[in-house]
Amino acid sequence: MNRHMQYLASQAVAGKLSRRDFLGKAAALGFTAVSANLLLSGAAKAAGPQKGGTIRLGLQGGSTTDSMDPALVTNTVGLMVTRLWGETLVELADDGGIENKLAESYEASADAKTWTFKMRPGVTYSNGQDVTAEDVVKTMERHSGEDTKSGALGIMRGIKDVRADGDSVVFELDSPNADLPYLLADYHLIIQPGGGNDDPAAAIGTGPYIMKSADMGVRFVAEKNPNYWGDLGNAETVEIIVINDDTARVAALQSGQVDVIDRVPPRTAKLVDRAPNISVHSTSAAGHYVFIMHCNTAPFDNNDVRMALKYGINRQEMVDKILNGYGTVGNDTPINASYPMYTALEQRAYDPDKAMHHLKKAGYDGEILLRTSDNSFPGAPDAAALFQQSLSSAGIKLDVKREPNDGYWSEVWNNKPFCTSYWGGRPTQDQMFTTAYLSTADWNDTRFNNEQFDQMLVAARGELDVAKRTQMYADMSTILRDEGGLICPMFNDFVEATTDKVDGWVEGVPGQVLMNGYAASKLWVKA
């Protein structure tokens, strides 16, 4: 792009040149309308966020049974609403590191067992109260108490003690954990006045917006917090509308009733993207669709049977047909490039000969039964049928049994020896392994029991040398890939869409959906 055009574009954005004149000049200089528009939007980004206006989001996943209590948030709507009015101590940054929110700085002791977070001074809640270290202590206690129902309970388990020390908060851990900041970035751990003990659902926090109305499972309205300490929040008003029906959600975007939607169905995403005023954004993420075998149950207790099935799945075909290309191939480990300290391992590919070889070596010729259901992941029965076909090309017979949705998560998953399932991923490798692959894990759904793996996991948790730690995690993924009960053919992307009324979308933000849940406060309404 030549410099004269860029100058013109910046003039146009600044309002010194009308859009029509700019496009006319661009055409005269031989630019196509598309590239001229690209230049304009680039210049608009460079000009920085516009303030004011209303951003409306149409989201799936809200229900009338939801609660405003951040401890009980389980879905996208809850995440987005909580992000409007509340904040955590620290947050996952766009580059995968950690950025400070209510903590101004933090440091760990040499053994990574004691962590001190210094509070950001002069921050107030939306009710005017000052934020204190004591509030943080009480918040952490509320999420880790005996009778808490908090979604962050699993994270809090390794924390022995939290205490206030002047304007700092000190965390004492049971065992070394270099990942503590990643855990405290969990979206349930919103700092509330008095820890939220009095009224957890009052929605009083330090976020860029203040809730004006909240109708569970229907609609939420928030307005800019005039006393917000940071630089988030461009629109004056944010409106979140719950639209659980896929078709209705896409129609609401197309008809201009909302400016942002989540979960664009992969089947229609390319069609939606064709509209001139709509952009579809896909973000690779940590969520993965899986086939899980119990390593302690015949025939899956024989690693050759497991290897036969791992070689007998066509990963690329799964990504193309089940995810319509909105995803990436998996490698029989739950870890992908969205995690910090990731190492790419040699990619396992579909190989019918190797699959047959391993099955012959195992000497097994009995029935292999896979259970599946519609709600284990979108398109699971189809994926099971594809798996059946790719195995039969290798001369292996797979039986598929379709189970009812109701009760699948209690009767089949983590219960029957071979079934389809879904994992949402975790912020760190340690969390993912600890949740599902440690021999004593609550949700060890592959019945994986490997002493070496367990030892490495604990050792890596306390290792502050990043290079060493990265190598340890690579080794752990290798063990899982070659011995585990997990067949992971694909990682699914987040597929989301915005209209051209809003700008400021950042591609490839790690973490949660919709720019790690910050789309509402980071996007802006175009002038």
CB 150 within 8 A of CB 192: no
Site mask for other proteins (CB under 8 A), range 203-242, x = bound: ----------x-xxxxx---------------------xx
Query: Buried b vs exposed e over 272-299: b needs ≥16 C-beta within 10 Å?
Result: beeeeebbbbbbbbbbbbbbbbbbeeeb
Q: Which residue from 15, 20, 30, 64 is in contact with other proteins, where contact means CB under 8 A?
A: 64
197 or 389: CB nearest other proteins: 197
Q: State in angstroms the smallest separation of the CB of 445 from other proteins.
A: 13
Q: Which of 252, 457, 495, 509 binds other proteins (CB under 8 A)?
A: 252
The window from 59-67, 347-355, 480-488, 491-499 that contacts other proteins (CB under 8 A) reads: 59-67
- Token pair of 18 as six digits: 């009308």
Q: Which of 147, 367, 451, 507 contacts other proteins by CB under 8 A?
A: 147
Shortest distance, CB of residue 208 to other proteins, whole angstroms? 23
Non-local (6+) Cβ contacts of 71 within 8 A are 142, 143, 148, 149, 150, 151, 152, 188, 196, 200
Interface of this chain with other proteins, residues 436 to 465, rule: CB under 8 A: 442
- Tell which residue, 423, 393, 414, 397, has the closest CA to residue 489: 423
State the minimum distance, in angstroms, from the CB of residue 62 to other proteins.
9
58/327 with CB nearer other proteins? 58
Candidates 2, 15, 255, 467: give the one binding other proteins (CB under 8 A).
255
Cβ contact 459:111 at 8 Å: no
Q: Which is nearer to other proteins, 11 or 67 (CB)?
A: 67
Tell me if 424 contacts other proteins by CB under 8 A. Answer: no
| 17 sits near other proteins (criterion: CB under 8 A) | no
Query: Dihedrals φ, ψ of 524, to 5°?
Result: -140, 160
Residues 23 to 42 in contact with other proteins, rule: CB under 8 A: none
Q: Which residue has the tokens 């195992």?
A: 362
3-state SS, one letter per residue, for 230-277: CCCCCCCEEEEEECCCHHHHHHHHHCCCCCEECCCCHHHHHHHHCCCC
Q: Whose Cβ is closer to other proteins: residue 351's or residue 411's?
A: 411
What three-state secondary structure class fits 420? strand
Note whether 199 binds other proteins by CB under 8 A: no
| 471 burial level (CB within 10 Å; 0-12, 13-18, 19+) | middle
Interhelix angle 352-362/303-311, rounded to 10 degrees, is 160
- Residues 338-377 vs other proteins: string with x where CB under 8 A? ----------------------------------------
Among residues 128, 276, 410, 440, the one that binds other proteins under rule CB under 8 A: 410
Binding-site member from 109, 116, 144, 254 for other proteins (CB under 8 A): 254
For the chain, the C-alpha Rg in angstroms (whole number) is: 25
Cα(332)–Cα(357) distance, integer angstroms: 19
**According to CB under 8 A, which one of 5, 57, 58, 180 is a site residue for other proteins?**
58
CB closer to other proteins out of 114 and 254: 254
Q: H/E/C letters for each residue in 190-210?
A: CCCHHHHCCCCCCCCCCCCEE
303 binds other proteins (CB under 8 A): no
CB of 79 to other proteins, least distance (A): 18
Q: Which is nearer to other proteins, 9 or 221 (CB)?
A: 221
Instruction: Check: CB of residue 480 under 8 Å from CB of residue 334.
Output: yes
* Bridge partners for 261 per DSSP: 58, 497
Is residue 202 near other proteins by the rule CB under 8 A? no
Q: Footprint of other proteins on this chain (CB under 8 A)?
A: 58, 63-67, 147, 213, 215-219, 241-245, 247-248, 251-252, 254-258, 410, 442
